[in-house]
Structure 1
Amino acid sequence: MAKTKKNKNARNISLSQPRTISHFDLRPIKPLTPNQQKTFDAYNQGHNLMLHGYAGTGKTFISLYLALKNVLTINSLYDKIIIVRSVVSSRDMGFLPGNIREKTQIFEEPYKEICDDIFGRGDGYEILKLKKLIEFTTTSFLRGLTFNNAIVMIDETQNLTFPEIDTIMTRIGNNSRVIFCGDFRQTDLNKPHEKEGITQFMRITHRINTFKHIEFEQSDIVRSNLVRDYIIQKTEMGYA
């Protein structure tokens, strides 16, 4: 059964009181660019998010940080974070050796690194998984699921076909919200009709009042000066 709303302003998120997990504190993260600030503001106002834009702008990092801070808040509206992404190079994961965990483990590495950074320890991600505060899945295993009382973070959206995005959206249950991250320039898809998934989805969600779209520009790149210079030159030369 879904949780009932705790008050009429439940969608306005309070992030002040952390849940008690022994020796397990998030380091404070502040937005580094205006569009990161817009993301913090939109999230705290209760919006579903579509974060689109260049590599190295911190879309995935700040999304996971905001979701973690929310889930780890006392009396949080949400029980857990569900991270969903596609595995483009191996969509038919049944052909890969090992069980489901072994097949998907390599694709969890970015989120492990983020948790290592945020918590200042190397086992943060695994502890959160053991406590069922984070789940990871791929689009290969979504049929029949319903995500209730969860923050659903969809990463690498540019690698999802529209039917896959549609499947994710129709899994969202009661008292849940979504954060999509992606950049059409970074797609690993080859067929033109498959590449259109992210743009089709964005056209739809622009018509939904509960969605906030934030476009990350070259000026938002924070990974390193070299990455910023490389992406600027690549884009200017038409290689993007």
Structure 2
Amino acid sequence: MLESIKPMSKGQEELLNALTNSNYNIIGVFGPTGTGKSLFSLAYSIDAVSTGKFRKLIVAKPIVDVVTQEELTRKEYDKYEDMVKDYIKDVLGGFAEEKTIDDLFSSGKIEVLDSRYLRGRSFNDSIIFLDDVQLMKPESVLELFIRSGKNSRLIIAGDPVFQTLSNEADSSEIIREVLLNEKDAKVVDLGIKDIVRAGTKRGIRLLLEYKLRSRKLSEAEKKVMDSAKIRAPDADIITVVEFSEEKKKLNITSEHVPDALIVVKEGNAGRLIGKSGERINGIESDTKMKVRVVELKLDFKDMIRAVHPLPWVVKHVEDVDFQGNELVVRLKKESGGFIGQKGVNIRLVEYVIKQMFNVGVRVIQPNEENQS
């Protein structure tokens, strides 16, 4: 089955290589929905069980009530196993016959596990797959480490991006950090560029928009918003982020750097700026602030360019994407100017991004594993 699924991104290639590398006893794959975490993990796991490499596949996936957001236990929900079975069929649809999945269940080669009832259990000769780990308590996940026995392998999938954007407690990021330097473990980070499911990118963008529209504005931000609505009534304004005090703290005096950023829906920048800049000039006159407008897109380069003291250095940016609970900027050319003296440039960028999305910013220079 796994052979019939072709990776569609570098991240998916990395995941496939990790799954097929027997040197890793634990694989953690983290990223937003639609990146293929469950598809590749389940396809590999079912192949491994079907060929006799492992005796059994153990699947643990929280079942959450969409109304109460409470996780249902196996004792509370009599269709618990059916829900998980349907989820497996949905994920593997087009790659596996439903009868194949049913036969594996009926023969006992796939077992559904409620992660909160592990006492006294041990899993030998098994491949254990934990999905949606962000919805589990870290203690339950770590308990499975203890219960994983001889000739067993653990695959953990989670979405720290959604949790961070939703301002919710994030167990997946904790587990990711635990695994990063663990012996015989491999962490694969997937980002927006790895999303292949139709409609998911729009969903992520709408989630970002929802988060921004839900921001509580300061008095200074309200002032900019009110002026913008009067000056550009036909522009779809999402939010305003004001950071003049942070500029002063960092002693940034560049004329390029605005005092506030107005975020608008894609295609609305021209409406807010106005012919020959008359509208945005009016907003600046009303508020006595230097203002810049940026459209909300999943390519964050424009957003960085809008606030960075040296906008030209953005040409050195190869990629900007979520990794864990950070927005990671990868540079294709080493650039001290991007970070700035004593890190002031990137600190300003991080301040603005954090105000908007509640995530930190990390810079990776060429040929370096970790630099910020």
Instruction: Indicate the TM-score class for this superposition, using the shorter chain for normalisation.
Output: 0.7 to 0.9
Identity of aligned pairs, percent?
Answer: 22
1:94 correspondence with 2:75: yes
1:167 correspondence with 2:140: no
Unmatched segments (≥5 aa) in structure 1: 1-24
1:149 correspondence with 2:122: no
Distance in 2 of aligned mates of 1:229 and 1:132:
39
Match of 1:6 in 2: none
Match of 1:202 in 2: 176
Q: Deviations over 1:153-203 (max 9, x none)?
A: 00000001111112211110010011111102445xx996xx242222222
1:228 pairs, out of 191, 201, 211, with 201
Shift of 1:122: 2.7
SS of the counterpart of 1:141?
A: coil
* Matched residue type, 2:75: G
Taking the TM superposition and a 5 Å limit, the aligned residue runs for 1:46-195 are: 46=22, 47=24, 48-73=26-51, 76-88=52-64, 89-96=70-77, 98=78, 102-119=79-96, 121-187=97-163, 195=169
SS of the counterpart of 2:197?
A: coil
Report how many aligned residue pairs link the two structures. Answer: 205
Contact 1:156–1:183 (CA under 8 A) maintained in structure 2? yes
Distance in 1 of aligned mates of 2:211 and 2:75:
38
Q: 1:213 to 1:123 in 2, by over 3 A?
A: same
Shift of 1:26: 7.0
Unmatched segments (≥5 aa) in structure 2: 65-69, 213-356, 358-372
Q: Deviations over 1:176-233 (max 9, x none)?
A: 011111102445xx996xx242222222211212111111111111111x32133135
Match of 1:21 in 2: none
Q: 1:200 to 1:90 in 2, by over 3 A?
A: closer
Shift of 1:93: 4.5
Contact 1:116–1:124 (CA under 8 A) maintained in structure 2? no
Q: 1:116 to 1:130 in 2, by over 3 A?
A: farther
Match of 2:188 in 1: 214
Match of 1:3 in 2: none
Q: 1:50 to 1:26 in 2, by over 3 A?
A: closer
Q: 1:131 to 1:107 in 2, by over 3 A?
A: closer
Contact 2:2–2:40 (CA under 8 A) maintained in structure 1? no
Contact 2:27–2:154 (CA under 8 A) maintained in structure 1? yes
Structure with larger RCO (C-alpha < 8 A, sep 6+): 1
* Matched residue type, 1:211: A
TM-score by length of structure 1 reads 0.75
Contact 1:218–1:232 (CA under 8 A) maintained in structure 2? no
Shift of 1:83: 0.5
* Matched residue type, 1:173: G
Q: Which deviates more, 145-154 or 104-113?
A: 104-113
Shift of 1:146: 0.4
Which aligned runs of 4 or more in structure 1 are off by greater than 6 angstroms?
none
SS of the counterpart of 1:179?
A: strand
SS of the counterpart of 1:173?
A: coil
Contact 2:2–2:44 (CA under 8 A) maintained in structure 1? no
Q: Deviations over 1:18-55 (max 9, x none)?
A: xxxxxxx7771121111111011111112221110011
Query: Which structure has more strand as a fraction of its residues?
Result: 2
**Cα RMSD (Å):** 2.6
* Matched residue type, 2:175: F
Shift of 1:57: 0.7
Contact 1:158–1:186 (CA under 8 A) maintained in structure 2? no
